[in-house]
């Protein structure tokens, strides 16, 4: 018995990296997989046959999978991705919004095109894929799980990733809202902030020894995402889990103790209560900001 027997999972951006690791593990656990990938490079250009390769690997291992090459950032693409699942397997139970690109630059050097495209793929892509699945689950009275990809770059910040971080922070907000709206329909909405060495790390100047490179493989993120998608996490919704081969921990928005004025107050009053208004120390520079989705 697998954790996902008889389930159907759509995984976007599954032609390589994290998505491929999710697809292969989910298939091993009994799910039928729609392997979506447009096949572009990290910066959103070009094409490849990654989805077909991943499908071939799953089929060879005795699993069930079909390839889909639609663009996640259009409504037609999102609808066609859902249609692939319905046509091939009859239903859908799980959606993982994993597709993404990078166009990293410091804020003053980000072009409007770089800003728009990164938000289009990550944020609009999450919307375009989620809405058709959401409506299908709701209209058919089926519970389901939607997992969206945020990032520590959006939750905590990361140098040179204003466009990417803004998109990933917005996805956190979407997770929170849809987890509330999904309660009445039995739709769980979870988030993952993965940290793994994929092609998105190609331009990052970091030096890692062989042991850490092995630990930070996409295959060591996949079991945590499997947990989120399975009934093992049935009691959880609206949460974002940072996952790597080194650590699994919830990341969330918090408020400090705060200053509660009982009437009119001044800016000087706020300054006098700064120790309560702010968290101790600096959470930005004290946080792990090297995670990338």
Continuous segment of H or E residues that includes residue 45: none
User: Using one digit for the tens of pLDDT, what is the confidence trace for 263-275?
Assistant: 999 999 999 999 9
Question: Domain residues of the chain, as ranges?
Answer: 8-253
Task: Encode pLDDT of 217-274 as tens digits.
Answer: 899 999 999 999 999 999 999 999 999 988 999 999 899 999 999 999 999 999 999 9
231-236 long-range contacts, CB within 8 A, separation 24+: 231/3, 232/3, 233/188, 233/190, 234/188, 236/188, 236/190
Distance CA 42, CA 131 (A): 25
Fold of 8-253: Rossmann fold (3.40.50)
**Predicted TM-score (pTM) of this structure:** 0.90
Largest CA distance in the chain: 70
Report, as residue numbers or ranges, the catalytic residues: 164
């Amino acid at each position: 018995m697998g954790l996902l027997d008889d389930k159907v999972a759509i995984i976007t951006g599954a032609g390589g990296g994290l998505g491929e690791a999710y697809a292969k593990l989910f298939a091993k656990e009994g799910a039928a997989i729609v392997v979506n990938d447009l096949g572009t490079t990290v910066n959103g250009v070009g094409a490849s046959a990654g989805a077909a390769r991943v499908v071939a690997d799953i089929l060879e291992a005795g699993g069930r999978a079909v390839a889909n090459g639609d663009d996640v950032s259009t409504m037609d693409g999102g609808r066609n991705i859902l249609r692939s699942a319905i046509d091939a397997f009859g239903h859908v139970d799980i959606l993982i919004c994993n597709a993404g690109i990078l166009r990293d630059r410091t804020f003053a050097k980000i072009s409007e095109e770089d800003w728009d495209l990164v938000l289009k793929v990550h944020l609009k892509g999450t919307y375009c894929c989620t809405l058709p699945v959401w409506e299908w689950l709701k209209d058919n009275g089926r519970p389901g799980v939607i997992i969206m990809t945020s990032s520590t770059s959006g939750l905590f910040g990361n140098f040179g990733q204003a466009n990417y971080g803004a998109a990933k922070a917005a996805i956190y907000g979407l997770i929170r809202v849809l987890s509330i709206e999904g309660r009445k329909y039995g739709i769980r909405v979870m988030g993952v902030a993965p940290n793994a060495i994929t092609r998105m790390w190609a331009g990052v100047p970091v030096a890692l020894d062989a042991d850490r490179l092995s630990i930070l493989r996409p295959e060591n993120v996949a079991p945590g995402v499997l947990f989120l998608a399975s009934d093992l996490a049935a009691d959880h919704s609206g949460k974002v889990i940072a996952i790597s081969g080194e650590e699994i921990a919830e990341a969330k928005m918090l408020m400090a103790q705060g200053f509660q004025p009982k009437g009119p107050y001044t800016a000087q009053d706020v300054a006098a209560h700064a120790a309560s208004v702010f968290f101790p120390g600096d959470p930005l520079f004290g946080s792990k900001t090297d995670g990338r989705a």
